[in-house]
Each structure stands twice: as structure tokens, then as C-alpha cells.
Amino acid sequence: MNRGLKALAITAILSLGLGASVAAFAQSTDQQAVPDAPKPQPSSPLKELGPITPGIGATAGPTSSSTTSDVPQQATPKAPPTPPTDVQTTAPDTATPEDIGQIVRTYTTYVEVPVTIKDQKGNPIAGLTWRDFKVYENDKWEPLKIFSVDPAPLSMAFVVDQSVTMDVMEKVNNSLGAIQGALSPYDEISVFTYNNGPRKLTPFTGAQGSRVPMVMAMAKASGREEAVPINSGAFGPCSITKNGGCLDSNPTMQRGGATGSSSFITLPKEIHTLNDAILSAAKELSDRPQGRRRIIYVISDGKEYGSKAAYKDVLRYLQTNKIAVYGTLVGDAARWGEGYISRLHLPFTMYDNRLYGYVQATGGILQSERDLNGIEKSYAQLAEQARNQYMLVYASHEPPFDSKYRKIEVRVNRPGVEVIAKKGYYASSRDNVQH
């Protein structure tokens, strides 16, 4: 009994002591102040670093003397220079002529521009790259999509003018055998002649086939007899008259009627249907497959009179179907000095050199030759230059088919060169249909 009371007493004493100590600790903690959280300190200014030395690192550079602000001054960045808008940075695709034909049929806005570059002596310049060319359509720069320098097979419509004088026609007849030697086995040729209207001698056939020499023999003619007409006197066509009419059997030189009046005689005009002949050749060329260079090669004196087709209509057909006109001038138009004068035209008169306009507008080449050797060499030279051209292909920004003329300008980053390319084109749906 005494032991149990002692144990309870000891427990009570210990409980009272522990509670007192806890109360004393709580009182002491209430009286102690809780410290505040640390305040953010301003950062020190950044130091400029000098050059980095291997093994040492960056050295301290010059520091700013201004200490009024704790925040470092940040330099204002300079605006980058504005790059030129007509500089191409990505290389165009390279493709063979066959690949170009397939691509053009797929993308309706792609435009082909064959280009020939010549130096001041008239020699073709090779070795240019896509960086040397810039193409502008309607005065807007167009980046190149395809650039090719591979030779392309030719589809040539060869047109022979049989209305030239007899002496010139003799040289043309002797030169026709050289045209086959100017073409390759991959080329094809169709032959046309014209005097008073065009005539097709053969559709397209292999340029090295046995059929070509026979057709060239059929293209030979005697030519036009050049004589000074006499319209008065004893040797005139109307040496005997009756009642103001001519009793001569030549009805083309008599007074009155459709040829003149009773007071004068109108001499008959020469007939040179150049427009009709080029249109017939162009229609034959328009169906040739893509990937081939479509060219019309004309050997003529360039005169035009009596055609049913108008020049502007024929030219539009050529520019719509991507056909270039090449030519060899013969006769009077091939003379030095007179060839330039013949390009001028007086109203109501015959065009003395209409061929020059076709060549310039379609990107072809025209040579003037007077002797047989020069005519034969011109065949090989022009065929080679037509086959080996720079092919530039770009995507037009114009609508695919709006029937409007698009002007083309090709610039080359070389001084003193002659750029030969077509001046423009009309959009066509025939070459842009996907097969």
C-alpha cells in the first residue's frame, strides 16, 4: 500500500515538472522575434570580356565609367541590309530536253526560253551558268526553275522560195544537197516551197533518211526571169490601140480595166507569198512532240506580197506554238547596206524584207549570203546554233490562259554580248495538258 502511494506521488511530481518546463519554453519562444526574409539585392553590372586567348580564357575588357545605373546598357542592333530582289539563291533543276518536255506538260505556268549568246564577232559563247541569266516577264523578274545546256533534237520545216530570180535560184538549187549534212540522225525535216502559194513536198521524216535527197530534188525550180518592163513605145505592150484599148494579146499590160486607167499602164506586181508559206510550215510543226526544238528555216530574198494570211496573225501563231524562224537571205537583200535598207517599208508597196521581222520576234538567227559556198555553210551554222542553246525555264506569274501577250526580256551578266531570244509569247493550252 505504501509502495503504490509512493509511485503515484512520483508520477505526479514528474508530470508537474514537465508541464512547467514546456510552459517556460513556450513563453520564451513568444518573446523571441522572427527574422524577416532576405531582400533581393541589385546585381552587379556585367563586365565586357576581351578577346579569348587559348589557355587563358577571356580577359577583362574596358568597363564603362558610368555608375549611375545598375542595369547594363544594351546596344541597339543594326538593321540587316536589304538584299536585292532579283538575285536567285537556289540553283534551278537540271534536266534533259525530254525531261523538260514532261515537266512543261505537268506545270501549266512553266515557260521555255531558248537563248543564244554571241560575242562582238558573232561567235556563240559557251560555258555560261544559270547565275549569268535573268529573265523578266512583263518587267517582273522570274527565278529560273530549270536550266539546261544539253543539245536538243530539231524538228525543222525547211521552206524554199522559188520566186527569186533565175541567177539566185540556180545557187539555191545547187546548195540544197548540203542541208542533209547539217542535220543529225535525231533530227527530222519537212520541206515546203512557195511561189504563188505554198506547197508541201513531204511531211516530217528522218533527217538522214533516203527520202530527203529525192525531196530536195523536187524543191528545185527555174526561178523568176528578171527583166526591165517596157510599157511604152514600139516595143511596149500596146503598140497598136483601137478606141483607147490595147490590141496586144497580153491582157496584163493593157490600159484601163483592173490594171489602170486610160492614161497610164499599171505594171503587174510580183507575187511572193512568204506569209502563207510560213503559216503552212508552222501548222505542220505545231503537232511535233515536246522536248524538240521547233524551227522554220527559210531560204529566200525576204520579199512578201500577195499572201492571204496577215503578218500579225502568222506571228501570233508562231509565238503561241513556240516556233522560231531562222533564215538565209539571198539575192538583193543579202547585199551589204541594201539588206538594211530593205527592212524599211513604204506604205502601199511590197515588203522587201519581211523575213527579218519573223526572225527577230521569235528568237531566230538570220544570215545574208550571196555565193554558193556561203549558203551551204549557213545551213550547218544555223542548225548547230539552233540545236545548242541555253534553255531557261521559269514559272510565269501571269494566269495560265488569258490570251494576252507576255513580253520577255533576257539579261546576261556579261559585257558586250548579243542576246538572241524570243521577245514574247502567248499562253497555249495545247502544250500544257498533262498526259
Domain boundaries, the chain: 96-151+388-435, 153-224+270-383, 236-268
* Model confidence pTM above 0.85: no
**3-class secondary-structure state, position 340:** helix
Q: What pairing do the DSSP bridges indicate for beta strands 188-195 and 154-161?
A: parallel
pLDDT digits over 189-211, tens only? 999 999 989 999 999 999 999 99
Look at residue 29 in the predicted model and tell me its pLDDT.
Answer: 47
The CATH class for the domain spanning 96-151+388-435 reads mainly beta
Look at residue 104 in the predicted model and tell me its pLDDT.
Answer: 47
All residue ranges of the chain with pLDDT < 70 are 1-84, 93-108, 227-268, 337-350, 429-435
The CATH number of the structural domain formed by 153-224+270-383 is: 3.40.50.410
- Please give the single-letter amino acid code of residue 419: V
**Separation CA 176–CA 178 (nearest Å):** 5
Terminal-residue alpha carbon distance, the chain? 121
Look at residue 352 in the predicted model and tell me its pLDDT.
Answer: 77
Look at residue 26 in the predicted model and tell me its pLDDT.
Answer: 45
**Separation CA 209–CA 182 (nearest Å):** 13
Query: In sequence order, what DSSP letters do the residues of 64-125 get, joined into one string?
Result: PS--S-SSPPPPPPPPPPPPPTT---SPPB---HHHHHHHHHH-TTEEEEEEEEE-TTSPBP
**Separation CA 272–CA 195 (nearest Å):** 6
